[in-house]
Amino acid sequence: MTSENVSESDPVEPTKAASARAVDDQLIDELVGRAQSEGLQLTGEGGLLQQLTKRLLESALEGEITDHLGYDKHDTAGKNGGNSRNGKRSKTVLTDVGPVEITVPRDRDGSFEPKIVKKRQKRLTGVDEMVISLAAKGLTTGEVQAHLAEVYGADVSRQTICHQGDGTARCASSTRSDGSARSPPGC
């Protein structure tokens, strides 16, 4: 918002902002409280963060297909209208909170191109940067693989680690002074 958009007759209501913040805090407190009372971990396999990530991604994908098709799920406007929903497919993506299995909606003519989790995308943004950073620090692909397994519970092959982002192999073998294989930066 710029100063040109605010006039003296349009006062900003701090109570609305504070009220929205209080609602957000209440919602977070409620989620954490419910998770703890049900014995659900906040992080790790099946934890609250993984479940929230799954629900958020699937909700966004449903919104994307609704926008693509031009009508809501179960809306009669889509009946006999050509392209329509055609089930879902399961997909596991590696996220900053570990592997998350999501269901991705499909359309009959295959023209739906999701934006938040693209077709054939295996990892969400932060993971690639982390792998590149670890490799740049001198970790071998095996050490990166072990780190992902230990921290995120993700079983990622060395081949997958070597193929970052654009799908081009960048794993030219180089050797450390102790004789072990080393991943070059970006691998």
Render pLDDT for 53-86 as a digit per residue (tens, 0 to 9): 899 899 899 999 999 999 988 888 878 778 899 9
Q: What is the pTM of this model?
A: 0.61
Q: Beta strands 163-164 and 168-169: pairing type?
A: antiparallel
Q: Are 156 and 147 in contact (CB under 8 A)?
A: no
Q: Give the position of tokens 């909170």.
A: 97
Count CB neighbours of 139 within 10 A. Answer: 19
The mean-pLDDT minimum among 1-10, 11-20, 104-113, 143-152 falls in: 1-10
